[in-house]
Amino acid sequence: MSDAVVPHRIEPSAQTSRSGRNWLKRALDSDIFYSFRRSRMTMVAAAVTILFFLLAIFASQLAVQNPFDPAQLQLMNSRISPLWTADGQSPFLLGTDEQGRDVFSAILYGLRISLVVGVLGVIFAGALGITLGLIAGYVGGAVDGLIMRIADVQLTFPAILIALIVNGVAKSVFGNRLDAMSTLAVLVVAIGLSFWVQYARTVRGSVMVEKNKDYVAAAQLIGLPAPKIIFRHVLPNTMGPILVIATINLALAIITEATLSFLGAGMPDTMPSLGTLIRIGNNYLFAGEWWIVAFPGIALAGLILSINLLGDWLRDALNPKLR
Amino acid sequence: MLAFTLRRAIQAIGVMIAVGVIAFSMFRFAGDPVNQIVSLDTPAAEREAVRKSLGLDDPVPVQFARYFANAAQFKFGVSYQFRQPVSTLLMERMPATLELAACATVFAMVLGILMGVYSALRRDTFLTKIFQAVSLIGISLPTFLIGILMIYLFSVTLGWLPSFGRGDVVRIGWWTTGLLTLSGLKALIMPSITLGLFQMTLIMRLVRAEMLEVLRTDYIRFARARGLTTRAVHFGHALKNTLVPVITVAGLQFGSVIAFAIITETVFQWPGMGLLFVQAVQNVDIPIMAAYLLMVSLIFVTINLVVDILYTIVDPRLRSTISRPA
């Protein structure tokens, strides 16, 4: 990442076989890695984030049951408190909910859904925002005016409102009986449509600076088509800020998904995300069964906090003014 | 100046028309609303009667024009769930939301400014570090988790505060207020804090950054050189100058507070517009969704317009460079 300022890397094909190790060495020597090692908080945040991703990836191996498979749930096991309390029962580490679902397993699977929606949402928002930003910045004129006007207007509305509206419209289009997978797709689209503006603005700004530089003029001179110049030459030079936005947006996307699910406009009970689990658990708070809501809540808060810390660090590390 | 105001106003009207088109097209996509109202075994004749009574048998352009004309007079049709006019429902619930949003904003402003000033003046104290940790939590914890946490602490465990509703309200004309009864005030505490926490964090960070910047300027140095007391320098000169952007942000954020009230109102079952909207999304009650969208957009657009115009009045520099990079 440290060479983000170099317009475009020229790697002769003879060297590519050796570049694997060189790349690692360069990464370890880089300023970014140095600032990473200097900040203990960032290292903890990175470790926690990786841990969450691993838990999500290996959810089916680590869980004691598949919480989506009704055949594996037994009502006999319902509302067991966590293992370390007086009524705890093995193997239910964090207790069970009203359907006899193991809370720990549900969190693992919920984490998976939350991360999938978050990551796909960020990718969708990024693809949309980057494309529109590149077009607006490179083409300019009326196209630029139109795209940026839409962005301005959308920026005045909070993302959660846009996501709720998109969700409500999708529900009314497809009827109220969306299956879990389509709900997931709707959430990704809703999140993508609420977060593209920031990418578009940043990319547009960078492109307007980059397009006046000599390497773009050179590329134009040798007759490269505009799309190729935009994507192969201009885009790589705008990646630094995009990475920062993407990291912070991942946290925001996960919060948005959790909020939608909590409000009952997101993932259904049959395929719960962390937000859905919190909504379900919230109903049992007054009955004293705090663990059904507490542990998904802690998982969500920890995930968002560590991603936010990573994002903050990345923003400072990639900011040349602060070096 | 006049040209700028006009252009902004036209733009605002354009936005409202665009939102209106979106709101109306929700009706077109929504499938047959009659099915949502009648039960499965309603005879066809009765279905037709319902359809006619809702005006759903007219051609699309007619419905579109009628919707626009009605919306301009705050007539948003009849709710599918409640079978009541949407404007009545919204009016009933608006005081609750506005009161909550106002309390949250006041809470956020007072605490945010105090914490921001303190952490700018005493940069390395223990309390400042705590404030910064609180601000990180305020940004990282989702609103609904904070609400649930507070309910568990203060309602379930300690039993001090009510966990849902507005308490007793007093009716003044069409407005209902919870500010005049003890139970109403108690019910306001937790929702206001939950809703205001994010804004508080924002204001605290802004005040801190602005204060640090202002304290470095020449006129502060000059004020110190004149031998003014530290208090006069800090609060009479520095803080006063940081308040302009703070009030702007708080004003612009008021719209967001109303929108974010959706979440807080759901957690605390607060009988406001946000809760109505969430229930409408869950039950695909399009008239309420569309009306809420229009209302909130109107609030947003108005606030933005007023702030834009006020800015050009307050800050003459903006008049020459009129295209503000938002």
Query: Mean pLDDT, chain B, as a whole number?
Result: 80
- Phi/psi region, residue B284 (left: phi>0; alpha: psi -120 to 50; beta: rest), is left
Kindly give the interhelix angle for A274-282 and A291-317, rounded to the nearest 10 degrees. 140
Bridge partners (DSSP) of residue B172 are B175
| Yes or no, beta carbons of B26 and A263 under 8 Å apart | no
pLDDT value, residue A116: 93
Task: Give the minimum alpha-carbon distance from B145 to chain A in angstroms, rounded to a whole number.
Answer: 7
- d(CA A69, CA A63) in angstroms, rounded, equals 12
| Yes or no, beta carbons of B256 and A251 under 8 Å apart | no
Burial of B247 (0-12, 13-18, 19+ CB in 10 A): middle
Candidates A50, A19, A33, A94; CA nearest to A303 is: A50
- Kindly list the residues from chain A whose CB atom is less than 8 angstroms away from the CB atom of residue B260: 158, 160
Task: Give the minimum alpha-carbon distance from A224 to chain B in angstroms, rounded to a whole number.
Answer: 32
**B291 CB contacts (<8 Å, ≥6 apart)?**
B23, B71, B76, B77, B86, B87, B90
A171 in contact with chain B, both atoms CB, cutoff 8 A: yes
| Yes or no, beta carbons of A259 and B31 under 8 Å apart | no
Candidates A226, A205, A18; CA nearest to A129 is: A205
pLDDT tier at B326, thresholds 50, 70, 90: very low
Residues 90-149 of B with CB under 8 A from A: 136-137, 139-145, 148-149
Exposure b/e, A232-262, CB count within 10 A at least 16 = b: ebbbebbbbbbbbbbbbbbbbbbbbbbbbbb
What contacts 24+ positions apart, CB below 8 Å, involve A275-278? A275/A114, A275/A300, A276/A110, A277/A106, A277/A107, A277/A110, A278/B144, A278/B145, A278/B148
Six-digit token pair at B247? 């009030």
| Yes or no, beta carbons of B156 and A285 under 8 Å apart | yes
| Yes or no, beta carbons of A304 and B141 under 8 Å apart | yes
Residues 253-282 of B with CB under 8 A from A: 255-256, 259-260, 262-263, 266-267, 277-278, 280-282
Rg over CA atoms, chain A: 23
Say whether pLDDT at A3 is over 60. no
Higher pLDDT, A178 or B47: B47
B230 in contact with chain A, both atoms CB, cutoff 8 A: no
Compute the average pLDDT of residues B153-176: 80
In contact, A49 and A111? CB cutoff 8 Å: no
Compute the average pLDDT of residues B69-73: 78
Six-digit token pair at B255? 């719209």
Torsion of CA B271, B272, B274, B279, to 10 degrees: 40
CA atoms within 13 A on the CB side of B273: 26
Compute the average pLDDT of residues B155-167: 80
B198-257: per-residue pLDDT in tens? Answer: 888 888 888 888 888 888 888 888 888 888 887 778 877 778 777 777 877 777 788 888
A231-285: per-residue pLDDT in tens? Answer: 888 888 888 888 888 888 899 899 989 988 888 888 888 788 888 888 888 888 7
Q: Tell which of B11, B145, B146, B156 to mutate to test the A interface (max A CBs under 10 Å).
A: B145
- d(CA B34, CA B48) in angstroms, rounded, equals 9
- d(CA B202, CA B205) in angstroms, rounded, equals 5
Q: Tell which of A42, A146, A164 to mutate to test the B interface (max B CBs under 10 Å).
A: A164
Among residues of chain B, what percentage have pLDDT more than 70? 90
DSSP H/E element including B170: strand B170-172
Task: Give the minimum alpha-carbon distance from B232 to chain A in angstroms, rounded to a whole number.
Answer: 33
- d(CA A286, CA B177) in angstroms, rounded, equals 28
B15 in contact with chain A, both atoms CB, cutoff 8 A: yes
Torsion of CA A274, A278, A279, A285, to 10 degrees: 170
Residues 29-68 of B with CB under 8 A from A: 29-31
| Yes or no, beta carbons of B281 and A301 under 8 Å apart | no
Task: Give the minimum alpha-carbon distance from A137 to chain B in angstroms, rounded to a whole number.
Answer: 15
Say whether pLDDT at B323 is over 50. no
Say whether pLDDT at B32 is over 90. no
Candidates A198, A193, A118; CA nearest to A163 is: A193
Q: What is the DSSP letter of A100?
A: S
A101-120: per-residue pLDDT in tens? Answer: 788 888 888 899 899 999 99
In contact, B266 and B281? CB cutoff 8 Å: no
Q: What is the ipTM of this complex?
A: 0.77
Burial of A29 (0-12, 13-18, 19+ CB in 10 A): exposed
Residues 184-213 of A with CB under 8 A from B: none
B77: three-class secondary structure by DSSP = coil
| Yes or no, beta carbons of A259 and B144 under 8 Å apart | yes
Q: How far, CA to CA in Å, does B51 sit from each of A129, B34, B48?
A: 42, 6, 5
In contact, B106 and B189? CB cutoff 8 Å: no
Q: What are phi and psi of B90, to 5 degrees?
A: -65, -45
Bridge partners (DSSP) of residue B175 are B172
- d(CA B301, CA B11) in angstroms, rounded, equals 9
Bridge partners (DSSP) of residue B85 are B78
- d(CA B280, CA B283) in angstroms, rounded, equals 5
Residue type, B265: E
Candidates A216, A218, A242; CA nearest to A230 is: A216
| Yes or no, beta carbons of B301 and A156 under 8 Å apart | yes
- d(CA A75, CA A99) in angstroms, rounded, equals 6
B17 in contact with chain A, both atoms CB, cutoff 8 A: no
Candidates B222, B213, B221; CA nearest to B241 is: B213
A8-39: per-residue pLDDT in tens? Answer: 444 444 444 455 567 777 767 777 777 777 77
In contact, A95 and A291? CB cutoff 8 Å: yes
Compute the average pLDDT of residues B267-283: 86
Say whether pLDDT at A217 is over 80. yes
pLDDT tier at B321, thresholds 50, 70, 90: very low
Q: Tell which of B267, B281, B284, B299 to mutate to test the A interface (max A CBs under 10 Å).
A: B281
